[in-house]
Every structure is written in structure tokens, then in C-alpha cells.
A = this chain, B = another copy of it.
Amino acid sequence: MSCVIKENNKPDLCLIAATPGNLFSSYGVFTKNDTKAAPVLVSQKNLIKSGNNTAGILINSGNANAATGTQGIKDTQYLLNELAKILSCETHNLLMCSTGLIGIPLDTSLIAQSLKTLVNSLSFSDKAYEMAANAILTTDTFPKVVTKKLGEVTITAFAKGAAMISPSMATMLCFVLTDADLEIEDMKSCLTDAVENTFNNLIIDGCMSTNDTVMLLSSNKVKGVSQSEFYGAISSILDEIAVLMAKDAEGSTKFVQLTVKGAVSLDQAKKCARQVANSLLVKCSLFGCDPYWGRILSELGAAQAGINPDLVDIYYGPFLACKKGVANHPDKDKLVDYMKKSELSITCDLNLGNHESKVYMTDLGYGYIDENKTTS
């Protein structure tokens, strides 16, 4: 629904609520930024106080409630107190997530006066997920919802944004709801590992936000799910969401899957992949459809992860552009055509070992600058 934080009555408010009397088990992964937004700080505290039992999550878009000091904390607590009265639960069983501009005090009255309507409009349907996903968007162009069945178990995730890709939000938020009955320790390990292997391999501009939050909530209704099966499913869902985020990255014209393989360790593969994916020069070359592999080889070396440049092969799709560290010359016309595609794969083979790492990245073009040069 809209409480008019955002203009034009765009949806900007959303509530996830447990069936009364049946709290969610919940686990959250939050930004590691020292400048955490007020709702992150309050939610982290409430999760501890409630022993990971959650009645609901209030989410607003349009204002991140970050860099708002003690007033930001008070505003978050006030809203959760008001919501607790309506839901007849303890305040510490409630969490809040916000997304939007940093440094602007939250107008709590707009949200507070909408809470009853919000609670009354709660429903359980695919449409509800779609509406929720819509309400947390800022400059994303489409809502992101992914559902999977695992036997009797359902897992649905909805999300917004990608790491700091646009001006009017500063976060990625993702909510994963399931009915799988899992121990809290299993929820923790599944979510933490899945985030590390999906969202943390999504590199848009390398910026870390004040509000990043990924929450896993379970109603615990369906027994007998193995942790490994659940991990497989949640990883696959978050991977799909990560791809959707990368494809919706504002200002980008290309979605690139970058694989570094042949590494002596996973750590080496990851360091190399992230260094390349974070490189402004590599991103600019992609924007210009220029297969300038020299920059990729340079960044693999700049990772200082112990590569031997004289062993490295670099492929654009099927085209081997760099063989054992020097120029190879695949069919130029075909390579030029390939570089113009909106979805590319780049593979770097270090030829040192058997480990690999995959990241999703985008290019850097005029659009990113247009999106981010001003907040108005």
C-alpha cells in the first residue's frame, strides 16, 4: 500500500505477519557497515530479545531511516510499538526494514496512520507476494518474486534492488518465507551460506549499504525437511533473485557471468573474480563492447592472489581471446558480434588448480552516472 512517503501514491509500505499465535522462527543477515540504519539496529536487538521469534516485519521504501541518529531509533521503536498494539504482540517480536534516501528523518505519522489499514489488508496469496514485492521497490523496474516447492514445503522469496545500484535506495532487501520446520541453527547456516554464494557474488558497484537485510522466516508447519535439501533450494532461489537484480541494475546495458576457474583455492578464485568484477576499466570496456582482455589479465594480477599471468586463458563466451597470457586471435567479426550481446559470459582459466568462483556483474555506462549523480 502507499502511505505517501513516495510520491504519486506509489506503494511504499508492506507488512509480513505470522498467523496469530504462531510466531515465525526467524534469522537475518544484515549489512556489515559500521553506519547501520536505525531499523537494522532495532531489528538486530529485537531478534536477540525475542530469541528469533517474530510476529511480523514492517517494511517501508522511500526513506532509509539511516544517518538519523537517536531520533531514527526512537522513530523505529515508536512504529513497532504502535504495530504491536494492533497485532496484540510484544514489540520485540516485530522487526522493521527501510529503504530509500539516507540522512532524512522518517515521517512516522504517515506510516503510523496507515498501520491499521495495512493490518486489515493482510492476505495470503501469490498476489500478496506480488504486492509486497511492489511495495518495497524504489527505482527497480520490476518486482522480484521466486517460489519453489520442495516436496510439501514451499519457499518464496521477494526482494528489491542490488548493491547500491541507484540513487533513491541504498539497500537490497530480501525476505524468504517458508513453512519448513527447521532448527534455528540450520536456518542460520543455510541462510548465511546461501547469501555468501549468491548475493555476495553479485557485484554492481561494490558499495556496501547501511540497510542491507536478508531475512528467513519460517512458520515451521511442515516437518521432516533435511537441511541439505533446504540449503539446495534456498541457494537456488537466492541465485535466481541475484540474477534478476543484476538484470534490473539501473543504468547497465549488460549482464555478465564471470567465472574464474583453474584456481589453487576457492579463496584465490573469489579474490580474482571480485577484483575483475569491481574494475571500473573492465566495466567500461564491456559498455563499449570492447574485448580488451588485457584489462582483465591486469585485474587478475591486481588481486594479488598469486596468479601466474603466463598461464592464464581468457574467453569471451566461446572465444579464446588470451591464451597463456598473450593475445590469441579468434574470428574478429564473430567476437565483435558477441560483445554486442546484452548477456555475456567471461571465463578466466588460471590453469593452476581445480577451484572456481562465479560472479554476476554489469557494465558501467552513462546510465549509472545519470541514476546516481543527483538524488532529486
Contact = CB atoms under 8 A, between A and B. Distances in A.
Number of copies: 2
Given A34-B303, A67-B298, 20 more contacts: A35-B297, A35-B300, A35-B301, A35-B302, A64-B294, A67-B327, A71-B326, A103-B292, A103-B293, A103-B326, A103-B327, A206-B280, A208-B302, A280-B368, A284-B368, A285-B374, A285-B375, A287-B373, A292-B374, A366-B369
Nearest to A307: B34
Contacts of A374: 285, 288-290, 292
Interface in A293-311: 293-295, 297-310
Given A170-B298, A375-B290, A205 B102 contact: no
Contact of A209 (B32, B66, B298): B298
A209 B33 CA distance: 29
Nearest to A295: B102
A363 to B, nearest CB: 9
Across the A-B interface, give the 9 residue pairs with the lowest CB-CB distance, nearest first.
A35-B301, A102-B294, A288-B373, A34-B301, A103-B294, A284-B372, A208-B302, A288-B374, A35-B309
B69 A326 contact: yes
A contact face: mostly helix, strand, loop, or mixed: loop
Contact of A36 (B299, B301, B369): B301
A68 B326 contact: yes
A373 B279 CA distance: 13
A281 interface: yes
Nearest to A32: B304
18 contacts: A33-B301, A34-B303, A34-B304, A34-B306, A35-B309, A64-B294, A67-B293, A67-B327, A103-B292, A103-B326, A205-B280, A206-B278, A207-B279, A210-B301, A280-B372, A281-B372, A285-B375, A292-B375
Interface string A354-370: 00000000001110110
Interface of A: 32-36, 64, 66-71, 101-105, 164, 170, 205-210, 278-281, 284-285, 287-290, 292-295, 297-310, 322, 324-327, 364-366, 368-369, 372-376
A78 to B, nearest CB: 17
B298 A70 contact: no
A101 B300 CA distance: 17
